[in-house]
Amino acid sequence: VALCVAARAANVVYVVTDDQDQMLGSGFPAETTPLRKTKALLADQGVTLVNAFAHVPLCNPSRACTLTGKFFHNIKATGRPQNAAHVRMDAVHDRSFAVDFAAAGYATGLFGKYANAMPRGFVPRGWDSWMAHGNDGTYLGPTFQTKNVE
C-alpha cells in the first residue's frame, strides 16, 4: 500500500506600499527603512522581488500594472476623464492576479488601498474577502468597501 501525501500549495502574502521613497526618508540605510518589524517578519523570512521595477512610477498606473501583470500601454486610457490617472480600470477590475489565484484554489483577500478609481457597487472578480478604499483623499478614517469581512 503506497501512502501519498498531496503537496500543499504555499501561502502567498503580497504586500504593496506607497510613497516609500528616499526623499521622504523611507529608504536605506537600515535605520531609515520603513516598516522594520514588518520587513523582519515577512520579507526577511520569505521571498522578496529584488529585481522588480515599477513600469510607471505613479500610484494608480503602478498598482494596475502590478495587479494585472500588464505593461501600462496595454491598459492605458485615452480620451477619458483622468480620475484613474490614464488607466482603463475595466481592464483591471476583473483581470487581476486574484482571478488566477482563486482558480487555483487559493483563498484571496485584499485589505487596504486598492486603486484610485474604485469599482462602483461591486467587488472585482477573484477576491473572496475585500476591505478596500480608493483615493478619496481621506487617509485618516477612510471609508471602506467590504465583502466577507466581519
Q: How high is the mean pLDDT of the chain?
A: 79
Q: Of all residues in the chain, what percent carry a pLDDT higher than 70? A: 75
Q: What is the pLDDT of residue 21?
A: 58
Write down the pTM of the prediction.
0.75
Distances 25 to 11, 21, 28, 31, 34 between C-alpha atoms, Å: 31, 7, 8, 10, 8
Catalytic site residue 59?
A: yes
Note the pLDDT tens digit of each residue in 103-123: 999 999 998 888 877 887 889
Residues in contact with 134: Cβ distance below 8 Å, sequence separation at least 6, in sequence order: 113, 114, 115, 116, 117, 118
Residue 2 pLDDT: 45
Question: Of the ranges 44-48, 89-93, 129-133, which one carries the lowest mean pLDDT score?
Answer: 44-48
For 56-89, how does the pLDDT look when each residue is reduced to its tens digit (9 = 90+)?
Answer: 888 888 889 999 999 999 999 887 666 678 888 8
Candidate list 59, 99, 102, 131, residue with the active-site label:
59
106 or 36, higher pLDDT: 106
